[in-house]
Structure 1
Amino acid sequence: MSSPPIRANRRTDSNDPDAIIPAPNVTVHAAASALQTMVNTGHPVEHYRLAVATGLPDADAEGLRTFKGRHYVEMADGGFVQVSKDSPSSLWRAGLASESKPSGPLMLHDPESGRWHALEFSPPSTFALSVTRLQAFRTPLDFSHSSRDSDGLYRHDGKLYAVIDNQSYQVLHDHDASTPLAEVMRIVRPEDPVAADVDNIYSATRPGRSEPVVFDADQGWQGIVVGGAGGMQRGSADQPASPGLRERLNAAVNRLRTPQSRLRKLYPSLDSEQIRTLLRTQGDDVPSFLTRLENEYKTLKLELATWLKTSELAGGATNPSVERAAQEIKRCWKRQTGTTLQLDLGDAGIVPLSADFSHVRTLHLQAVAWSEGGENFLGGFTALERLKINASALARPPANLAQMPALKELDLRANHIELSDQTASELASLSQLEKLDLSDNPLGKAPDFSGMLELKSVVLRNAQLDDWPTGLQHQLAMESLDLRNNRLREIPQTVISPASDQLLAIANINRITLIEGNPFASGYWRRLEIYWQRVTAEYPALDHQRTHRCIPD
């Protein structure tokens, strides 16, 4: 978000002679939204109940009973209402036989019971907030030189803030208490555990005081009574709504929200301009685009919950490494980690995820108990430019590297990789690579570098190499070659006694090659010294660049 910088940690009391006058409380006047018009009806569902419902046929697969071209549905208590399709929401709405356009509440079908429930909302109960009530929640941040976003909130260091009566307060989204008519936020104390959520989502299970608030177009920020989920009727004790209906209810609520609101809930770190830009790129496909994202995130959360369950420690304790990784994966999906994802699994396994992480450019995995699940996990990262998998007991390079055409840097340090002819050939085919690190692996052999002409850095330190790597003479862009601590006993004649037309090219590689820690024979250095004397005789400028590289201890 491009705005003047936030003057954080500036107190605004009278003792500060340089205090900046805080921004006034923002009041936005707006007409009733299409959402409010859609869900607010003149009468409750009881007004539309049929007095007599005999002779209706059985319900079809959608739960509709069609008689003489009209549609009827059975409610949870056994009563019936007539319904018609509501054009704005594409949902069914209760109506009277005398109406050409239905005027009743929206209706939702519960596929588990076959019954229908009215989507009714009661007006939220709000009250004015007093200075005394909010005293304990104040923060010292001064937002007087920063612009609020379109949702009335300020963003600073990944946190959300509301300004009320010239004071700033940290707030969290309370999705459980929110309805389409009331987007409930929770004012929290920054020092409490509840305030630390990386997604800025309120959780009642985390310790800490809070105050539920909503933003009113006319009154500004108001306190709200949140018992019963903010007034939404989601079932009663004698007629509870099933989990299936609750999901349909949530889906219906999403369809009633604005596209901007739905996308901001998924990507809370994006500012208004980023939200608008992303929606514009979808053209006429915005509704289905948002539905796909919502379903994808829902599935991701279920997959991560299953992973947490299957990774539990002895006694049913949650694995802290897996828990941290699951949170970081959700933050990454929500675009809160930029284009980078770093996970340290503490030697736990990782599972495949169906979500799309094609926005990620850098992936760093540390201490993963590698298995087929790890291979499948990589399948969601199709646009990687940098991949690091360190200390993860890999026995071979990942099989799907060829499906990462943008990959420039590959770091597989400290694994158990032994290269076969096939896996060495697979690495050699990654012609776009610029950096390759296979150090601290029992490779046994190196890939042929002949076709990898973009290479700038190759690290093969401590890789149990007996033979000098091939294809290096073709590397014109090479800046560093590390062959230290291997089992090399000699250097090929093509390297230390090349033909005259190859002398300069080979010298440019040799001067950036490290070979310390190899078991060269005593006196082998003399052959290298003769080689460098030849090079400097023909190319004197290279003498000062050699700096003891490609010279054994």
Structure 2
Amino acid sequence: MIVSESASQVPATVPMLPVLADFWISAAAAMPAADAQGFRIIKQRRYIELTDGHFVQVAKDPVTGDWRAMLASELVPSGPFLMPDQHRRYWYPKDSNGAQKHTGVDEDDVEAFAPGPSSVLSGRLISQASVERRVRALYPELPDDKVIGFIGDRLHSDPHSVLVRLEKESVALREELKDWLVNARSAHPGSESGLSAEGLASQRQKREQFSQDLQAIWCESVSGQGFADHSFSTFIDFSGELPHLSVRFEWVTELVLTARNIDVSLGRFLDSFPNVRYLILESVRMEDFSPAIFQMRDLQHLTLNGNSLRLSESSAEGLSRIETLTLLDLRDNPLGLAPPVGFMQGLRELFLRDCAIDEIPSGMERLPALTRVDLRENEIAIVGDELFDIPDTQNLHLDLRDNPLGVVARQRITHYLENASLDRKVQIRSDEDSLDVDDSSESSDSSDSGVESDT
């Protein structure tokens, strides 16, 4: 069982063990590239890069022959033992059994933390200053008062595990974005083949800006202890596929991406945003539904406009099961299939303009909250019985303009409206001369006719 004691109970004979953060250096910008062994050599001194992005000087321990962190003022290294990863790119602390530990601070030195200048666990000490340094390294823009608040809110019980996880995420995000920036051009050579040198430079700069925006929104996890609502909204001016990241932005609840380049594709970018409630993607190519959308359990507003999206029977079924939706907007997509909406009990607005569908979405008659349906510019010629099961007292506006409605469909709509109750609120809008109604109905916008002309 783990027991923590206050700093005042620390025996005077217990030494303060070295913490890897105490050996960080601030000369990273001037570092040369790593050699085959992972060393960066300056004036015969060896430096290595840790998984959290910090650098330390190292030297061999004269007794064990292993590499240890050292201070510039030391002749014999006194810091934690270190070892490289399998690619000899980054270095980790090493325990007595030779196991690798993916953290910027030796796990043996950080097993518990309590407020105060230091804490003790089985004779092992950790200073609050070391924890603060690690937090500031993760969030360099965080004010001092927020650093203290973060430590109190997030690190009061298990600081080591939380910091290790965050440091791993930070490193993973930087490395994955770095790889994406390197591979973006080679993965989509055709999209940049006609660009000038200036255009290529502009594309790279815009990708780098997008990368920086993602890292900035990751840092916002500090606010609200990582559970507050955040919005990520940006324009995409570069070409190619968006990055696939292992980091999950669980605190982002609103995601808005607007592409200004026709060669932008979604890929698996949405995998990193599981808790989105408001999703808006405009002109981001997505020929089939991203499976990640079906995993967004709290999704309320789904807007996918101009995404070259087509519905298969399986994706239409998956879409129909997003029961939390209150707004569904799929305008300007060649869907081919009308999505069934009967399970979306809270759906209020449905926009399917110019979606290459030839029927009214099934299930609309089971949606009492539905108030607006836009089905303009489709291929709807036949109207099924379900439409006329909608209570005429429901406050619903249905727009069927620019559809090739057949004679039977027009007659059925006219009959439905003319035989509605005096309390009728349903309005069905069609082309000015498409319904077989009398002159007074055609020219009226009143609720008596339920038909609104284009004028």
Structure 1 SS opposite 2:252: coil
The unaligned stretches of length 5 or more in structure 2 are 1-15, 20-57, 95-101, 111-126, 186-191, 224-228, 428-444
Query: Among residues 417, 425, 430, which one is paired with 2:322 in the alignment?
Result: 430
For the residue of structure 1 that corresponds to 2:257, the secondary structure is: strand
- 1:292 and 2:165 are equivalent in the alignment: yes
- Match for residue 354 of structure 1 among 246, 254, 276: 246
> Cα distance, 1:357 vs. partner?
0.6
Cα distance in 2 for residues equivalent to 1:423 and 1:79 = 60
Q: Distance in 2 between matches of 1:489 and 1:551?
A: 19
Distance in 1 between residues matched to 2:92 and 2:320, nearest whole Å: 53
Distance 1:503 1:299, change over 3 A: closer
Partner of residue 477, structure 1: 369
2:291 is aligned with 1:399: yes
- 1:518 touches 1:552 (CA, 8 Å); kept in 2? no
Q: Measure the CA separation in 1 of the matches of 2:242 and 2:213.
A: 13
2:215 corresponds to 1:330: yes
**Are the counterparts in 2 of residues 322 and 348 from structure 1 also a CA contact under 8 Å?**
no
Mark the CA change 1:354 to 1:477 in structure 2 (over 3 Å): closer, same or farther: same
Instruction: Find 1:263's aligned residue among 131, 135, 144.
Output: 135
Quote the residue 2:230 is aligned against.
Answer: 339
**Kept in 1: contact 2:230–2:254 (CA 8 A):** yes
Structure 2: distance between partners of 1:461 and 1:343: 25
* Deviation larger for 445-454 or 307-316: 307-316
Q: Describe the superposition over 1:256-308 as per-residue Cα deviations: whole angstroms up to 9, x where unpaired.
A: 64434432443434773585256434442112211211121112111111111
Matches of residues 492-531 of structure 1 in structure 2 within 5 Å? 492-496=384-388, 498=389, 503-504=391-392, 507-508=393-394, 511-521=396-406, 528-531=413-416
Q: What is residue 435 of structure 2 aligned with on the other side? A: none
Residue deviations 1:170-206 (CA, integer Å, cap 9, x gap): xxxxxxxxxxxxxxxxxxxxxxxxxxxxxxxxxxxxx
C-alpha distance in structure 1 between counterparts of 2:251 and 2:450, whole Å = 40
CA distance in 2, matches of 1:80, 1:274: 39
Does structure 2 retain, via aligned residues, the 8 Å contact 1:357–1:380?
A: yes
For residues 277-316 of structure 1, what are the structure 2 equivalents within 5 Å?
279-312=152-185
Query: CA distance change for structure 1 residues 527 and 377 in 2, over 3 Å: closer, same or farther?
Result: closer
For residues 548 and 290 of structure 1, do their structure 2 counterparts lie closer, same or farther at Cα, with a shift above 3 Å needed?
farther
Specify whether residues 79 and 417 from structure 1 end up closer, same or farther in structure 2 by C-alpha distance, changes over 3 A only. closer
For 1:534, the aligned partner's letter is: N
Inter-partner Cα distance in structure 1 for 2:240 and 2:184: 8
**1:533 partner amino acid:** E
Q: Is contact 2:425-2:447 (8 Å) kept?
A: no
Closer/same/farther in 2, CA of residues 440 and 273 from structure 1, 3 Å limit: same
Shift of residue 490 of structure 1?
Answer: 3.6
Structure 1: which 5+ runs fail to align? 1-36, 41-74, 84-90, 95-103, 114-241
CA contact 1:321–1:344 (8 Å) conserved in 2: no
- Closer, same or farther in 2 for the Cα pair 1:243/1:92, shift >3 Å? closer
Return the alpha-carbon distance in structure 2 between the equivalents of residues 451 and 79 of structure 1: 67
2-structure distance, mates of 1:433, 1:320: 37
Q: 1:251 to 1:356 in 2, by over 3 A?
A: same
- Corresponding residue pairs, total: 328
RMSD across aligned positions (CA): 4.1
The structure whose Rg is larger is 1
The question of whether the paired residues in 2 share the 8 Å contact of 1:436 and 1:459 is answered with yes
- The Cα shift of 1:452 comes to 1.3
Picking from 107, 131, 134, the partner of 2:79 is 107
Contact in 2 for aligned 1:458/1:482 (Cα 8 Å):
yes
Identical positions, percent: 23
TM-score, normalised to structure 1's length?
Answer: 0.51
Do the aligned residues in 2 keep the contact of 1:440 with 1:462 (CA within 8 Å)? yes
* AA partner of residue 321 (structure 1): K
